Structure 1
């Protein structure tokens, strides 16, 4: 059996996440995978990611426009997914055309890191995250 390309693997994972088939999507993650989201939030699991998103919007999906594949450190592979987000905010208002970029690091065919970047705060869909100083509860002065 031929293994899917790194981009095809990421695309399937993203589709499963959107469909909230989190158990199936989790099979694409390496043990200890890091799920890094805007505002410096790192989730230890897809269930934690979904729980955190529940207070941000009603639902969101991705129009996945392009993928880029590159070599990473050692045998790692990097996949970048670019596109736009659409969905409904907490008030039930539709939104679309919000840019996103997801950067994945794959090792041995599994996702070890997902880095999510998007313009949801700039579009007014979610609050602008308050920057935190690593290892502290202090908020830096603006």
Structure 2
């Protein structure tokens, strides 16, 4: 898939949402680093899925725009948008900010850094003790 970097990232994110993890994994370089909020680091999608926290039933992304730039011998891609999904109790959520930062080399994702307001939004939902 020697296309533009934003299209590659969009394809990867869609495959992850569709749980086509084998296909999504083909877009990751060996030794990939996927860094989630709180500094949790995963080295592949199987590891990521196993480490899922259960904070929600499901989550998807409104991918609003991409920013692409050069980063030495690599290309950086930022995906900006809003998360939507369902909390464990079945209540829906929408419009939770996210930014995913990707680093690509040789047409593969070598790093993904995930930033979002999901934990803040979840904390606001919890009743006071």
> Normalized against structure 2, the TM-score is what?
0.91
Alpha-carbon RMSD: 1.5
Task: Check conservation: 1:81, 1:103, Cα contact below 8 A.
Answer: yes
Unaligned runs of 5+ in 2: 125-129
Q: For 1:1-142, list aligned pairs within 5 A.
A: 3-53=2-52, 55-73=54-72, 75-124=73-122
Which whole-Å CA distance do the structure 2 matches of 1:30 and 1:53 have between them? 21
Is contact 1:89-1:125 (8 Å) kept? Answer: no
The Cα offsets for residues 28-79 of structure 1, whole Å up to 9 and x where unpaired, read as 0000000000011001210121222252210000000000000012x20000
Aligned length: 124
Structure having the higher helix fraction is: 2
Task: Name the one with the larger strand percent.
Answer: 2
How much does 1:88 deviate? 0.4
TM-score (norm 1): 0.83
Superposition deviation, residue 125 in structure 1: 6.5
Larger radius of gyration: 1
Where does the alignment leave 5 or more consecutive residues of structure 1 unmatched? 127-142
Question: How far 1:117 moved relative to its partner?
Answer: 0.1
